[in-house]
């Protein structure tokens, strides 16, 4: 197997890695972690792998990765022969991908945290996280609308990149946090585009593509 993923099935960050691996047809092993209620990610054994006590953790023969964006870049650089998921031959495109990978961390810190509160009753400042979530989704909506006007269907280039995968997970899962997509037509169309990719992999909370409607009310 290409690598081992320490995984929690309901984690949006773990899902990002599973999704890209599926899109790239990469086979790997998983180790299921009892995130809730067992808090296994805080166990002595896992803290030796990742002192931050977070998931996912990716182990390969040559490295241990503990940041999701790094895992996505590693997968694309290692297994994408087309060089489109992690475009390194164009400095502007590379920088754009890095910028939106950073933005994905904001989604995790806002929508992701609000989702943990809704699902697992995590103690957070709900109003602050809700404001941050809406602000992040509005920024994403603006970017996607601008890209559409410029004839580009994805966040950074004419092809989907690791940035799209990084931003997709918690955007698609935002209804779990009480934030629907009705007011974000460009996001809705983009979510459908990602779901339409060959070898797309779903997870609990992300509905099947069949029956979903785009911003024009048409079924996908």
pLDDT tens by residue, 26-47: 999 999 999 988 889 999 999 9
Percent of residues, the chain, with pLDDT higher than 90? 89
Q: 216 versus 23: which is more confidently predicted?
A: 23
CA gap 178, 192 in Å, rounded = 20
Task: Check pLDDT > 80 for residue 207.
Answer: no
With bands split at pLDDT 50, 70 and 90, how would you rate the model's confidence at 3? very high
Every domain of the chain with CATH number 1.20.1050.10 lies at: 91-195
Task: Check pLDDT > 70 for residue 84.
Answer: yes
With bands split at pLDDT 50, 70 and 90, how would you rate the model's confidence at 214? low
Mean pLDDT score of the chain: 93
Every domain of the chain with CATH number 3.40.30.10 lies at: 4-79
Per-residue pLDDT, averaged over 174-192, amounts to 96
CATH architecture, range 4-79 = 3-Layer(aba) Sandwich (3.40)
What are the structure tokens assigned to 149, written together? 């006007």
Residues 184 and 152 sit within 8 Å (Cβ to Cβ): no
With bands split at pLDDT 50, 70 and 90, how would you rate the model's confidence at 212? low
User: Which residues are paired to 58 by β-bridges?
Assistant: 5, 65
pTM (two decimals): 0.93
Give counts: helices (H), strands (E), the chain.
8, 4
Q: 95 versus 120: which is more confidently predicted?
A: 95
Task: Check pLDDT > 60 for residue 14.
Answer: yes
Per-residue pLDDT, averaged over 5-34, amounts to 97
Under CATH, which number does the domain 91-195 receive? Answer: 1.20.1050.10
* pLDDT score for 190: 97
With bands split at pLDDT 50, 70 and 90, how would you rate the model's confidence at 211? very low
- The four Cα atoms 133, 145, 198, 201 give a dihedral, to 10 degrees, of 10
* pLDDT score for 216: 55
User: Which residues are paired to 158 by β-bridges?
Assistant: none
The reply to whether omega before 37 is within 30° of 0 (cis) is yes
């Amino acid at each position: 197997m290409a690598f081992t993923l320490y995984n929690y099935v309901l984690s949006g960050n773990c899902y990002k890695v599973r999704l890209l691996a599926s899109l790239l047809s990469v086979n790997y092993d998983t180790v299921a972690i009892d995130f809730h209620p067992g808090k296994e990610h805080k166990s002595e054994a896992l803290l030796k792998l990742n002192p931050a006590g977070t998931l996912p953790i990716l182990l390969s023969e040559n490295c241990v990765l503990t940041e999701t964006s790094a895992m996505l870049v590693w997968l694309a650089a290692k297994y994408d022969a087309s060089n489109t998921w992690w475009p390194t031959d164009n400095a502007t495109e590379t920088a754009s991908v890095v910028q939106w990978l950073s933005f994905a961390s904001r989604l995790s810190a806002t929508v992701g945290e609000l989702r943990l509160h809704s699902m697992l009753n995590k103690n957070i400042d709900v109003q602050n996280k809700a404001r941050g979530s809406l602000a992040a989704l509005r920024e994403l909506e603006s970017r996607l609308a601008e890209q559409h006007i410029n004839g580009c269907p994805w966040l950074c280039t004419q092809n989907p990149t690791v940035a799209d995968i990084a931003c997709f997970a918690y955007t698609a899962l935002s209804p779990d946090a009480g934030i629907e997509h009705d007011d974000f037509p460009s996001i809705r169309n983009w979510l459908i585009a990602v779901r339409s990719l060959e070898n797309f992999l779903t997870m609990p909370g992300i509905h099947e593509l069949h029956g979903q409607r785009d911003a024009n009310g048409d079924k996908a």
